[in-house]
Amino acid sequence: MRIVPLATISPKPRDSAGDGASAGEKSFMPANETSHTDSSTLVGAVLQALTERIEGSLEGNESEYPPARRLLSMLAAEPLRPAPEAPRQLPVVRFWDTALDTLLRGDGAELARLLQLLTPRLHWFQGEHYTAATMGTVFMDNYALAELVGPRGLCRSPNLALGILLLGPETYYPPHRHPAEEGLYLLSGRGTWHLDRGATISLPPGGVVHIPAGSAHAFWSFDAPMAALYFCSGEVSDIGRLWTPAASAAQGP
């Protein structure tokens, strides 16, 4: 993946609106960014800003960071393959502006601005194994993904993914698993991850969690929309299937 060259990165001093950027702080916003800026440039800037935040942060469990950084370095080496844009909305997107506003007011203002520019281009989708019949209509109205990189992404990759997970408030995403290894960075809201290694991890915005390939995990969003950036390597076309102990026993180790 192409990273935005530093020469095109504009310094963004704190403005009168108090957007959280300190004077002299490096900005990942392309210097001449507009709503027409090429998606691959914006996606590269998102990856660069995310990488910097993860390298500079140790929210939560320190052991989550090395594998997360490894996944991001794999994405950074991936050539961009821009794809035709096919914007698509789903019901949970009604919470996206709230999530971005929260991010904008916090430490992630730069990421929020980049994601705002990408918002009109996002193709929101849901895992093909999740339906109203299996998950309920409440869940389906409060869950969606949008890929920046991946098989369905603004930039195409068959075996790497970078995307957005959005859950509505008070939403429980039950235990599920997928063959790809995953890292998650919490953008806004609060999230609790229940992992089949026996841990329950509660993260604030800026927190990172690593989910090994095939590991069952679940999310709870508490009382606000939860938005996260996920980044995966492996069989990323398989978004996930519900997991139960019985199903696990039937499948064997």
Q: Interacting stretch for Fe ion, rule CB under 5 A, among 95-103, 122-130, 179-187, 188-196?
A: 179-187
| Identity of the residue, 109 or 149, whose beta carbon is nearer to Fe ion in the bound complex | 149
Q: How far is the CB of 174 from Fe ion (least distance, A)?
A: 12
Tokens of 15: 């403005």
Which residue lies nearest Fe ion, judged by its C-beta? 182
| Identity of the residue, 44 or 175, whose beta carbon is nearer to Fe ion in the bound complex | 175
| Identity of the residue, 110 or 182, whose beta carbon is nearer to Fe ion in the bound complex | 182
| Identity of the residue, 64 or 182, whose beta carbon is nearer to Fe ion in the bound complex | 182
C-alpha to C-alpha distance for 149 and 98, rounded to whole angstroms:
23
- Contact between 127 and 150 under an 8 Å Cβ cutoff? The reply is no
Q: How far is the CB of 232 from Fe ion (least distance, A)?
A: 8
Q: How far is the CB of 211 from Fe ion (least distance, A)?
A: 6
* Site for Fe ion, residues 182 to 211, rule: CB under 5 A: 182
Strand partners, 144: 166
| Identity of the residue, 147 or 182, whose beta carbon is nearer to Fe ion in the bound complex | 182
- CB within 8 Å of 48: residues ≥ 6 apart: 3, 4, 28, 76
- E strand spans, 12-142: 124-125
Q: How far is the CB of 182 from Fe ion (least distance, A)?
A: 5
Q: How far is the CB of 240 from Fe ion (least distance, A)?
A: 6
- Contact between 68 and 183 under an 8 Å Cβ cutoff? The reply is yes
C-alpha to C-alpha distance for 249 and 246, rounded to whole angstroms:
5
How many residues interact with Fe ion (rule CB under 5 A)? 1
Q: Which residue in 237, 181, 13 sits closest to 110, CA to CA?
A: 13
Q: How far is the CB of 217 from Fe ion (least distance, A)?
A: 6
| Identity of the residue, 3 or 213, whose beta carbon is nearer to Fe ion in the bound complex | 213
Q: Which residue in 65, 93, 95, 52 sits closest to 188, CA to CA?
A: 95
The residue type at 48: Q
Q: Which residue in 126, 134, 113 sits closest to 163, CA to CA?
A: 126
Site pattern 136..175 for Fe ion (x: CB under 5 A): ----------------------------------------
DSSP run (H or E) holding 245:
helix 245-251
C-alpha to C-alpha distance for 87 and 127, rounded to whole angstroms:
17
Q: Interacting stretch for Fe ion, rule CB under 5 A, among 19-27, 28-36, 40-48, 177-185?
A: 177-185
Residue 5 has phi, psi (to 5 degrees) of: -60, 145
Q: Interacting stretch for Fe ion, rule CB under 5 A, among 18-26, 84-92, 103-111, 176-184?
A: 176-184
Q: How far is the CB of 130 from Fe ion (least distance, A)?
A: 12
Which positions touch Fe ion (CB under 5 A)? 182
